Structure 1
Amino acid sequence: MSEPAIVRFDTRRALQAHWRALLGRAVRRIDLFDPDFAMLPLGAPDVEATLRAFLRGGGTLRLALHDANFIARACPRFLGLARYYSQRIECRRSPRSLRHLSDAFALADGLHVVRRFHCDHMRGEAAFDAPAAVEPPAVRFEALWEESETILCPTVVGL
């Protein structure tokens, strides 16, 4: 493992570059929370290829969100992956009582995190090979996950 690297960013381009880097480093598990995933290239061809390789290698992907409309409307590649790898991808919607949560983050293998401080802004930080930086959002993700309901199933009826 290399020395922890924490990088601050404030543009969409930087957010997406760090997010792609996190996906590329993931081996076992990726946990993603974003209110709607509109700022992340979840449906991009290169992201699909990265996620397909990750899932084919035995990885699991968990998405927590407030609203799935953007994914249903704009991410057909991701929906195809969700159907094909339904045993490895789970998507849950937060309850109304947690819809006030406004940050967004991606976690990989308990080692890497990309986090926006508020979903309406691009300001955030990326930390790679930094388990201490992953722990607080990982605890939040688990709490959110437990309170959320499954919405994405192999037939995409849940959307």
Structure 2
Amino acid sequence: MSSRLITHWAEHDSAVQEILERSPSRLLIFDEDLSALKLERPERIAALSRLLSCEQASKQLTIVVQKAEFVRQYSPRLMALLAVHAPVLTIIHAPPHLEALTDSLLIADGKHALVRFHRDHARCRQIIDDVEECQPYAKRFDEILGEGGDRLSAITLGL
């Protein structure tokens, strides 16, 4: 069980990858637009693919974003995963009244987390193997998710 404060973007990037690797069945993400998490990197898409392809019945990847256009336009690999794994991968565009939130959450299996305190800064807390310390952040994610929002679809509708 450990927790550490991170203040540099390079450390943040390493911590994101570590949390993704430590997520065997359930990953929860709340972020402005996913740009700082760099989920389009091949190694991160591979980690997400492993999670979504695992044999566990309880596997889940839930993402809540405040700005869905960035995801639609600049995350083709993530959208491709959504097309294949839609039942267990959900991407939700948060309702407008949540735009004032400035933090970011990355929670793996309820016991590992990366909590960025403000979306414009690298300052964050990395939590490894501590259910008790992750619990308030998981509750916050559930509250955000409970506010509703629109699900993104990998299918483009139109003429």
- Common fold, TM-score beyond 0.5? yes
Q: Which residue of structure 2 aligns with residue 30 of structure 1?
A: 27
Q: How do residues 1-159 of structure 1 correspond to structure 2 at under 5 angstroms? A: 4-57=1-54, 58=56, 59-155=59-155
Q: Would you identify which runs of 4 or more consecutive aligned residues in structure 1 move more than 3 Å?
A: none
In structure 1, distance between residues paired with 2:99 and 2:20 = 25
DSSP 3-state at the match of 1:82? helix
Q: Alpha-carbon deviations, 1:72-101, whole Å to 9, x = none?
A: 122111111111111110011221222111
Contact 1:82 1:89 (8 Å CA) reproduced: yes
In structure 1, distance between residues paired with 2:73 and 2:133 = 33
Amino acid at match of 2:36: M
Q: Which moved more, 1:52-61 or 1:146-155?
A: 146-155
In structure 1, distance between residues paired with 2:122 and 2:11 = 9
Give the aligned length. Answer: 154
In structure 1, distance between residues paired with 2:75 and 2:66 = 16
In structure 1, distance between residues paired with 2:29 and 2:112 = 12
1:70: how far off?
1.6
DSSP 3-state at the match of 1:122? coil
1:151: how far off?
2.5
Q: 1:27 and 1:156, CA in 2 relative to 1: closer, same or farther beyond 3 A? A: farther
1:71: how far off?
1.4
In structure 1, distance between residues paired with 2:8 and 2:36 = 11
State the identity %. 25
In structure 1, distance between residues paired with 2:102 and 2:38 = 19
Contact 1:113 1:133 (8 Å CA) reproduced: no
DSSP 3-state at the match of 2:83? helix
TM-score if structure 2 supplies the norm length? 0.91
DSSP 3-state at the match of 2:143? helix
DSSP 3-state at the match of 1:64? strand
DSSP 3-state at the match of 1:118? coil
Q: What residue ranges of structure 2 are gaps of 5+ in the alignment?
A: none
